[in-house]
Structure 1
Amino acid sequence: MNTKTEAKEYRMDPLKWLLVLGLIAVGVVGNSHFSAEPLLYRVLGLLVVAAVAILIALQTEKGAGLWRLLRESMVEVRKVVWPSRQETNQTTLIVIAVVIVMSIILWLLDTFFGWIASLIIG
């Protein structure tokens, strides 16, 4: 069985990225230009422009690679064995205890060295 995977050909990527940058610029300038309009309309307009820019960016090689990375990372996140609530609480308490003990040790060392310095300096 011979299965060939055809690599998708991405054409005009630089032009697509210029279009994305142009859409971002239009969104920024448009938001400033229409500053007298209600905020809701400006936000909705920016969301539409951002959605179009993202869809265009996903059609590029780097955009498709980013989307593939996000999908694969979600698969990996599902494989993670998350700690139970009890393990999380125990670990948190251990960290808090170690921080308290270390802060007391450092305070004692600081006090001791301060006392030594005051004896030397006078």
Structure 2
Amino acid sequence: MSVEAPASRLDSLKWLVVVALLAAAVIGNSYFSNESLLYRVLAIVALAAVAGFVALQTAKGHAFWSLVKGSRTEIRKVVWPTRQETVQTTLIVVAFVLVVALILWGLDSFLGWLVSLVIG
């Protein structure tokens, strides 16, 4: 179903550029720590966007983007539960958790009592 783009000889160079851009963002954030937080965040977002764009130009990036588009299509096909079904399921889970908690509390109390009898 998925058609992979042929791997280019430049893919490893593109990934190197992605790593360099992300490293520049991290190092730049530390180096310019005295600057305004807003400017540093904008610079990091810009560098991350450029790195993402470069990454999408690789074969793996193209495959990832195809996966994202396919998953959006699949999400549209999901039949979501109604509010009543969600509430009922949540109440069943809460009730089950409470029952198991009581059972574990009782088992812990019993075992603690047993150990205290043995130890004295």
Alignment TM class, shorter chain as reference: 0.7 to 0.9
CA change 1:112–1:45 in 2 (3 A) is closer
Q: Secondary structure, in 3 states, of the residue corresponding to 1:82?
A: coil
Which position in structure 1 is the counterpart of 2:25?
Answer: 27
Letter in 2 for 1:26: A
Which position in structure 2 is the counterpart of 1:101?
Answer: 99
CA distance in 1, matches of 2:13, 2:37: 32
Q: CA-to-partner distance for each residue in 1:17-51, whole Å, 9 max, x for gaps?
A: 11111111211222222222111111111111111
CA change 1:48–1:107 in 2 (3 A) is closer
Which position in structure 2 is the counterpart of 1:79?
Answer: 77
CA distance in 1, matches of 2:27, 2:103: 57
Within a 5 Å distance, the mapping from 1:30-69 to structure 2 comes to: 30-69=28-67
How far off is 1:61 after superposition? 0.5
TM-score when normalising by structure 2: 0.81
Tell me which of the two structures has the higher relative contact order, counting C-alpha pairs closer than 8 angstroms and 6 or more residues apart. Answer: 2
CA distance in 2, matches of 1:120, 1:42: 64
Aligned residues: 117
CA distance in 1, matches of 2:64, 2:102: 47
> Aligned residues: percent identity?
58
Q: CA-to-partner distance for each residue in 1:70-113, whole Å, 9 max, x for gaps?
A: 11111111111111111010011111112222223333344445
How far off is 1:14 after superposition? 0.6
CA distance in 2, matches of 1:47, 1:74: 24
Which position in structure 1 is the counterpart of 2:11?
Answer: 13
Letter in 1 for 2:55: A
Letter in 2 for 1:23: L
How far off is 1:53 after superposition? 0.6
Structure 2, unaligned runs of 5 or more: none
